[in-house]
Structure 1
């Protein structure tokens, strides 16, 4: 419900504070459209951005792992060449030993120098050419391997050692001595540089595999997880793969070292594996930042939409309240909107419309009252004895009602009722109203019928319905001796009880064809005498306060109490004044 207008007709400023964002259908609709228009593009852009960034992070992770595998593989090849150089140094030193008798020390890494761990060979042995199978193995002793050795090229072979173990062995031929030299590679030393490339913040490790997938060396940190990894379909091709082991994700990259040209061997695969954090952590970091950005964006959207909608819809809400106030009859309602836009113009148009509406209502009201007044004058003009009677009764009734504390609306009804209270006299012949002698019973019945005639005249006009109780009952009495219905006490409409006093007072203080107007004292004596029987005592008490202002004939009429009986018997108010 809208707040009532202030004394100057403007809606109070609390209207703007009272209004809430979602209190109107228009507000909810605009808010929803505003949010959706911002939310859908933001979310759409966010999803696309997230997918692109996540894909880019994955690509970078794959490139990092693949690049690490390549760098580790290149370092491995470089160390193989260094190991071949060490083997040649042994050959130049003239080592001659049987394979079964270890010649030369077993070499381990030098502590604290991982880039130059020392020697890469162990169990260096020399055998005659005829015993080359002992170093090369049965299958590799002939054919291309023998031809390669004869040309002075190194040969790398995968040699079984025990039931489950294999070793990498580097073999060369000293043709001058017809001696084959062989040494097993110390893989920890050979792979030391590769491990440096492979170590990252995500816990990487390396594995050296044969082309068929046999593990030659594998870091303990990833050996168990790498064993459960699905082997790539073709390890001779570089690539990456993902797997899970022990509840942890792993990202693997591998690089194939082609050794046929340099060492006459089948390709070896160097695989680098790291924990899935390398892929997950950047994605999670981006997700957190992205969600924060979306949340901030939505907060800005909500805040800006709230402010904008409040600014644009608050005048609309005030306009609605003003229109509702105007519809409830609060015609003094005015709008004060200082927005500098169409809402301010609309408020000005509303105020102009309200003023014109008030002017038209006032004109219609004045026309309505003037029409009723003209009708009452026409009724009173039928006899010069009653000219002005209806207007005086209306004014006196309003004065009594005002003294009793009635509202302006009630006083307006009483005034109009007073103007039309005798409209039924149109149906009473003028010669009866002007008759100086006593009325016959038939004539008196005609006079008593004028309230009912008045109801019949006014009843078709719906706007006059509030006046009908006054027209019908202004001749009723408190003791039930009135007409036309014989109502008693409170059964009579209170406005009709007010009008009964005003009607009798004006009648007895005015000249009639059968008597002159009474003096104030005599008239008041009659009114006071009728309190409780004829008139409502409360109405009489209110009338007493204002009675002298409404006595219109200063000269006494000479009416004496002895003449009361005759007054009761004669004239239209004879029955009104009949004592109980």
Structure 2
């Protein structure tokens, strides 16, 4: 548990939960405990002082009772008949049953200015006499006085014996053991007591009584009653004192009884309670830590799983799911997270599919590819049951070609829009969701097939409707706005792609038209070569297809065929139309036209790949051609194909210096020159396409 708790405490949330648990559990407990301790301490202090107060009262009463009893015994002795003999006889009788020495240490008869008679014990001192004391003793009262020699001082009690002018006194020294035993019996457990006379002298102290307390009574100015706390070294004592009123009965100043108790003893119950309370606090803290660890785990495990789930989502793992079975809000959050992850997964797949369709549409430079990309892939992005794309025919306002996903974009069908439907679509800026029976004219070629709803999205080309994207649903779509928004984005890209494709098609037509016009311009330099470049191009393309050239290579061959004789622009018409044999200078002009053609095309970057075909179409396979003398595969393949087609058309056509050859003769010539002038592979392909039919 501790390891798990310490592990989880790395989390701020865990520390917050633990702090709240400890605060909520320990603060009330500690407050209640401290308050209770304070109340108990006050109550114990009050009870302790009350106990001490009662104890001091009991001790005072015990002392008074003891002194009164001693006085009664002395009066009994004094009342015995017979003077000395009677006293001695009484003493002897007392010694047999309850000896007086248990209560008196000594007993004597004293007479001023006369001999003292000791009954037993040692000689007792004569009491300090004055007229007031003599008068009090004569009235039958006792007199108590203390000696001043020993510590603690002895205590004596005296009464008058007999009557007459010569007073005698029966004086006894009180046995302290008798008196203090009675005091000890009156004390509660764990308390100490002291008896102090009016001069502050301790007449009696129990063994553990704090002697420093006696010093408070040296000045004799303490009140009759009081309670206080006294420090004595490392301990503190609770004390209570009261005066013993002796003046009325014993003709002496009042004594003071002081009863004390160690504060540790008085508060022993509180100490036990405090220890128990500390144990309870520790136990409470352990229980709180355990419960908080359980709660922290219940809270942090779902949080950790949520955190890990978000990391998976951030890495693009939208299939990640988390499982929380806490039965509380964390489980609801986990379920919401899983729903969100599933929604994100669908959104991401939809966005990816949308992006793929858009890329396919925008990179497709032909209408056919654009149409196929839309009708074949649209349903993977939008959860519809059918897709149709209507493209209006240029020049025909109400006629469109419909392409359906059911046919994979093949077998398009023509449809005619009712004017009212077309007008309504013209007024629709984004999309229109229609039910059964609506737009029946437009949707007649789609076929209902159980479809309950259709979404119509106009495709605008140059501010006018050029097509309609139609989505069919068998049931009402769950998220129509989301589907329509995404379909609208794709429809806009369809419009861009179609405009681009049309523009590229127009540019291509312009380019090929320009090349064809240029070829014709070159060929019209001589009436003998009219149409030569176009015929060579057509034959070269047939040979190239027979040899399996790629579309890009065929396009390059097409351009090279139209431009292969562009260098003849620099050759005078008189040389081209000369009926007789050419001079060396004239033939040199003819041989320059491949290089001249390459020079003409060099500044035009799109035609740089055509330059090798133009420059090398008069090279021979054995290296005897011109202008570079290249041989074999050093000659570009397009140039080798053009060489065969060029010679074939030239020999087959009339020239001013000869008539055109028969086709079989031309074929024989080309076949014979294979490996010398012509590439054998090209000749084989040429002969294959010729077959029994000689190309015209």
TM-score range, shorter chain: 0.5 to 0.7
Counterpart of 2:171 in structure 1 is 182
Contact 2:44 2:266 survives alignment (8 Å): yes
Q: Which one of the candidate residues 98, 109, 121 is aligned to 1:125?
A: 109
Aligned equivalents of 1:426 and 1:109: distance in 2? 153
Quote how far apart the aligned CAs of 1:236 are: 4.3
Give 1:196's match in structure 2, choosing from 177, 185, 200: 185
Quote the Cα distance in structure 2 between the aligned partners of 1:230 and 1:260.
18
> Residue by residue, what CA displacement relative to the aligned partner does 1:398-432 show, whole Å, maximum 9, x if unpaired?
xxxxxxxxxxxxxxxxxxxxxx9xx9996984646
- Conserved in 2, the CA contact under 8 Å of 1:174 and 1:180? yes
- CA deviations 1:461-490 (Å, max 9, x no partner) are xxxxxxxxxxxxxxxxxxxxxxxxxxxxxx
Residue 349 (structure 1) aligned with residue 333 (structure 2): no
Say if 2:241 and 2:257, in contact at 8 Å, map to a contact too.
Answer: yes
Question: Structure 2 vs 1, CA of residues 236 and 147 (structure 1 numbering), >3 Å: closer, same or farther?
Answer: farther
1:141-290 correspondence runs (5 A): 141-143=130-132, 145-156=133-144, 158-162=145-149, 166-174=153-161, 176=163, 179-198=168-187, 200=189, 202=190, 204-222=191-209, 234-245=221-232, 247-279=234-266, 281-290=268-277
Distance (whole Å) between structure 2 residues aligned to residue 34 and residue 149 of structure 1: 80
| Distance verdict in 2 for CA 1:250–1:31, change over 3 Å | closer
Determine the C-alpha separation between the residues in 2 that align with 1:241 and 1:18: 51
Structure showing greater Rg: 2
Q: For structure 2, which runs of at least 5 residues remain unmatched after alignment? A: 117-124, 377-496, 513-551, 564-597, 610-636, 645-677, 686-696
CA-to-aligned-CA distance 1:265-319 (integer Å, 9 cap, x gap): 3211122344454135444323211211111122222222222232234323322
Q: Does 1:365 align with 2:317?
A: no
Please list the CA deviations of residues 479-529 of structure 1 after superposition, one character each: whole Å capped at 9, or x if unmatched.
Answer: xxxxxxxxxxxxxxxxxxxxxxxxxxxxx9xxx9999xxxxxxxxxxxxxx
Q: 1:19 to 1:207 in 2, by over 3 A?
A: closer
> Normalising by the residue count of structure 1, what TM-score does the alignment of the two structures yield?
0.57
SS of equivalent to 2:8: coil
Q: Classify 1:82/1:160 alpha carbon distance in 2 versus 1 (closer, same or farther; 3 Å).
A: same
Offset at 1:341?
A: 2.5
CA contact (8 A) 1:135 1:171 kept: no
Q: Does 1:299 align with 2:286?
A: yes
Residues 244 and 257, structure 2, Cα contact 8 Å, conserved in 1: yes
Deviation at 1:564, TM superposition (A): 7.5
Structure 2 length-normalised TM: 0.48
Contact 1:213 1:235 in 2 (8 A): no
Aligned to 1:377: 364
Pairs within 5 Å for 1:101-112: none
1:71 aligned to 58, 62, 84, which one? 58
Deviations, residues 500-559 of structure 1 (Å, cap 9, x unaligned):
xxxxxxxx9xxx9999xxxxxxxxxxxxxxxxxxxxxxxxxxxxxxxxxxxxxxxxxxxx
Seen in structure 2, the aligned counterparts of structure 1 residues 358 and 562 have a Cα distance that, compared at 3 Å, is farther
Unaligned runs of 5+ in 1: 1-16, 392-419, 450-507, 516-559, 568-580
How many pairs were matched up? 398
**1:91 shift after superposition:** 0.5
1:40 aligned partner: 27
| 3-state SS in 2 of match to 1:73 | helix
Q: Mark the CA change 1:426 to 1:265 in structure 2 (over 3 Å): closer, same or farther.
A: farther
Partner of 2:606: 446
Q: How far, CA to CA, are the matches of 1:246 and 1:235 in structure 2?
A: 23
Pick one of 69, 75, 88 that aligns with 1:88.
75
Structure with larger RCO (C-alpha < 8 A, sep 6+): 1
